[in-house]
Amino acid sequence: MQLLSAGLLWSVSLTAIAQTDAGAAAQVAPLYDLHCNYLVTPLGIDDKHPTLSWKGSSGNANAAGTADQPPAPGYYAIIVATDSASLADKHTAAKGTVWYSGFQSADKPFLRYNGQPLQPYTRYYWKVIHTGDTIRLTDAAQAMSYFETGLQSVYNWKGAWISDNHPISFKPAGYFRKDFTLRKPVKSARIYIAAAGLYQLTLNGQPVGDRELDPVYSRFDKRLYYTTYDVTDALDSRQNALGVILGNGWYNLQSTAVWDFDKAPWRARPAFVLDIRVVYRDGTVETISTGKDWKTRTGPIVFNSIYTAEHHDHRIRLDGWDLPHKNEDDWHRRHDSLWQDVIYRSAPSKNITSSMLVPIRKSAPIAAVTMNKFSDTDYVFNIGQNIAGISEIRIRGKRGTVLRVKHGERLYKNGHVDLSNIDVHYRPTDDSDPFQTDIYILSGQGEETFRPRFGYKGFQYVEITSSEPVQLDKSSVTAYFMHSDVPVAGQVHSSDTLLNKIWAATNQSYLSNLMGYPTDCPQREKNGWTGDGQINIQTGLYNFDAITVYQKWMQDHLDEQQPNGVLPSIIPTDGWGYEWGNGPDWTSTIAVIPWNLYLFYGDAEVLRSCYDGIKRYVDYITRISPEGICSWGLGDWVPVKSKTPVPFTSTIYYYTDARILAEAARIFNRKEDYTKYSTLAEKIKKAFNDKWLNKETAIYDKGFQTEMSAPLYWGIVPEAYAVRVAAALNKRVEQDNYHLDVGLLGSKTILDALSMYGYHNSAYKIAGNKTFPSWGWWMVNGATTLYENWNIQSSSDISLNHIMFGQIGAWLYRGLGGIIPDPESPGFKHSILRPGVPDSLERFSASHTTPYGKLAVSWERKEKSKTVEVRLVIPAGTTATFYAPAGYAPVRGERKDKVAVKWEKETEQRSLYVDLNKATLSGGIYTFVLEKMK
């Protein structure tokens, strides 16, 4: 629809609404949580078709329908305009309307903008209107929000890329500044900044924003990200100054380790480009940009490495360096002759796009819980938890005193910090860059505060040694947890305190390894290992609203993928990882993660954007695996004792990728691809089962836990054998005395495979085990995060903050809470609720914030454990199928309004489910009483 007629259409629609039969309309739940591209009021949108989403409150009982009939879907319309006042008036057409969607069935709580081309530097206000089963404005729910576009094109940058004139080996960080004067009263001002490396930005001496380690790491020669800041209120009416400090980040990594980032093809001295776009109240626009009028020098940050640490020399003073000065040239002459002219640099990539993901931020301060003083020059602090982040030191001391601040995860027996479990891949060329050890030199001028600006570490303990005596107390050290600041999306609680600790530790490790991309560990590597990422995608999505980070990481995948389809094992990468560890058991991220985003959000956009990449990847595996068996991969990494063959697990992932590709082809109506890859998946499935399934015993290969659970979890077992295979798995677990005998890949599947087939007691016994090897074994030994190795005394693979064994975090929701997305109705439009009720667990609750609102399952034993009471909260506008847990029969079920629930039986037993009692429910609150069968 053309722009001129959009407002007219809106007016016509209002008339139609007013004429609708008032008696037929149902009340509609309030709207809330409006997002654009899954962010709240984002600035700097470059997307031509941003996603607009919302939620409706499930607290409105009238929106729930009846217990045996789903609520009417309702209708929605979206209006996007440039005038907020007129858009807020429900009775008039909005001025500046650029898109009116028309009313349509509200089957999904999001829609992509499809109006007039969005213009750069423009704020757009948008409103969603949601009605009941008939379109009647007086009963409609309405909510407003806004988003703001950014540059939209690399050619809209006014500034030049600038740097200082130093080589890549030069260690001190560059400081940059510029004074500028405003001519008239300001209406609005935005800063747009992109950097190769990291930056810290100040305006008039104050930090701009609260982002850390910005911009996020990417393949710098293929893609750069810029960030937008609203600085309207921070500007002085006349004289202003900009300050920028550049850090190396992954762009100019000077530390040397096995992954060769010091040899990265993009490596250069950090550089940046910046525009301040000032709109004056009279409508005129002025842009202040990077250019030759900027000045640069070095300062107290004399070395910085995101991999190792940071060094500061406070004897180098730059007081007021980023404050405005009336006479710039005079200030330089009087204060420091070291300020130099900047140099122009070419952009590392012409692909500079807006950073549309939640930023990395630091937490509230974490105080030390203990301090051990060995001497006046040696102190060890314990912050009581393992984190990814930084320490901040407050200290007084003699000028020239050198502090070494070492960060580690464990202590030697003598109480000093031990780095031997995390420095194994570091290959230093000299002793000037010690691992995870900040170096600070005191100025001697009162109390001084040190904190790194361009790095982070993984640690629980901080050891401070000094070249001269200093007096420290417990308050001298403060820690900050740093991670991508993803909103919380899930909660779990149970009567088992051990399970609660495991859940908390899983989340601690997950967040410690989310830094604009998923990593494996925050100390030893900081790499985006694909295996860890695909294993823990559901753990992440149940617990956190992390879609923006995964959208970015999938773009990293596409940027790194070779034309033949091959991906590296770490993403992003400097080129390392294309020849080691990148089989389908790891790099199936290209298929597994987009598929799970589709399941959890109901949004197929990432799956669509990755479709050709998945196809190239599957085609490559097919070329090297003509018989359907793939032998390429790492296998069940870090097993307890039993080693599953690599071709076994790699073929399962090959099958999974082909199956996801076929399903995506069906969703996108690519009929030829659907036929081709469905046939391929069946070929792989047959080859796999012909090779490894003993049809007489229903045992795969040697019957190890991974060999029995992985085929069940990934659905490669023939339906006729699934129940028997599950029984054989359970028997194997009993023989192993409910202890784990799996590596990374088996840890993904063991608990879920048991729960899928009703063996909740066995799954819970494994999950709640307190002896080696188990998650509980780590907890009883003091863990606050997950480890890399089941054996905490192992001589290798012993990082103490690793996410690789984190699937248990997803199992708590799936296996005990029973909250499962339905692939046929993704985004929890329809949910499958199959809680597991182990005999020895008294109560459990789990909730997850879906695109439609909060979905919750809780259960508790009653009457001396003879019955179990289950409570469900299902968001308005959605439905769910509730299955009575294995071993329990329903006594009664009712909705909050006392409407009885109708039970039904499956018409035929499906091998996936051993329980047959089910009820189909619509949005609302339900209570069930279940009786344990004899």
pLDDT in tens, 716-746: 999 999 999 999 999 999 999 999 999 999 9
Split at pLDDT 50, 70, 90, the class of 6 is very low
Separation CA 163–CA 170 (nearest Å): 13
Residue 911: pLDDT over 70? no
* Predicted pLDDT at 912: 52
pLDDT of residue 135: 64
Q: Give bridge partners of residue 340 from the DSSP assignment.
A: 296
pLDDT on residue 540: 98
pLDDT for 509: 98
Average pLDDT, the chain: 92
Does 914 have pLDDT greater than 60? no
Q: Is the pLDDT of residue 814 over 80?
A: yes
d(CA 342, CA 347): 15
Identify the band that residue 751 occupies on the pLDDT scale cut at 50, 70 and 90: very high
Question: Residue 339 has which token pair?
Answer: 């300020």
d(CA 468, CA 455): 26
Coil/strand/helix, residue 180: strand
Q: So what's the pLDDT on residue 132?
A: 72
Q: What is the pLDDT of residues 10-44, one digit of tens each?
A: 333 443 333 333 333 345 668 899 999 999 999 99
**Cα gap 284→152, rounded to integer Å:** 20
For residues 310 and 75, give the distance between their C-alpha atoms in angstroms, rounded to a whole number. Answer: 56
Place of tokens 């298929």: 591
CA dist., res. 446 & res. 590, Å (int): 54
What is the reported pLDDT for 53? 96
* Torsion (CA) 470, 475, 479, 485 in degrees, nearest 10: -150
Q: What is the mean pLDDT of residues 601-620?
A: 98
- Average pLDDT in the 540-564 region? 98
Which residues touch 429 (CB under 8 Å, ≥6 apart)? 256
Rounded Cα distance, 64 and 435, in Å:
58
Task: Give 298-348 pLDDT, tens digit per residue.
Answer: 999 999 999 999 999 999 999 999 999 876 666 555 556 789 999 999 999
Residue type, 836: G
DSSP 454: S
Task: Give the residue-averaged pLDDT of 336-365.
Answer: 94
Q: Which amino acid is at 734?
A: E
CA distance linking residue 353 with residue 57, whole number of Å: 34
pLDDT at 796: 86
Q: What is the pLDDT of residue 908?
A: 53
Residue 909 binned pLDDT confidence (cut-offs 50, 70, 90): low
pLDDT of residue 139: 65
Q: What percent of the chain has pLDDT over 70?
A: 92
CB 427 within 8 A of CB 256: yes
pLDDT of residue 138: 60
pTM for the structure as a whole: 0.95
> Cis peptide leading into 300, omega within 30 of 0?
no
The pLDDT value recorded for residue 70 is: 41
SS3 321: coil
Residue 703 has pLDDT above 80, yes or no: yes
Q: Does the pLDDT value for residue 68 go beyond 90?
A: no
- For the stretch 147-158, pLDDT in tens is 999 999 999 999
Rounded CA-CA distance 431/435 in Å is 9
Residues in contact with 692: Cβ distance below 8 Å, sequence separation at least 6, in sequence order? 648, 700, 701, 707
Distance CA 209, CA 199 (A): 12
Contacts of residue 39, defined as CB under 8 A and 6 or more positions apart, other chains included, come to: 356, 357, 358, 548
Higher pLDDT, 103 or 517: 517
Q: Output the pLDDT for position 75.
A: 85
Taking residue 411's Cβ as centre, other Cβ atoms within 10 Å add up to 16
Reply yes or no on whether the pLDDT at 859 is more than 80: yes
Whether residue 95 is predicted with pLDDT greater than 90 in this model: the reply is no
How much is the pLDDT for 906?
67
Residue that wins the pLDDT comparison between 866 and 471: 471
Q: Other C-beta atoms within 10 Å of 169: how many? A: 9
Tell me the average pLDDT across 231-241.
95
Q: Would you state the pLDDT for residue 9?
A: 36
238 vs 291, residue with greater confidence? 291
* 503 close to 812: Cβ distance less than 8 angstroms: yes
Of 484 and 876, the structure prediction assigns the larger pLDDT to 484
With CA atoms as reference, report the closest residue to 383 among 785, 919, 17, 843.
785
Q: Is the pLDDT at 592 greater than 60, yes or no?
A: yes
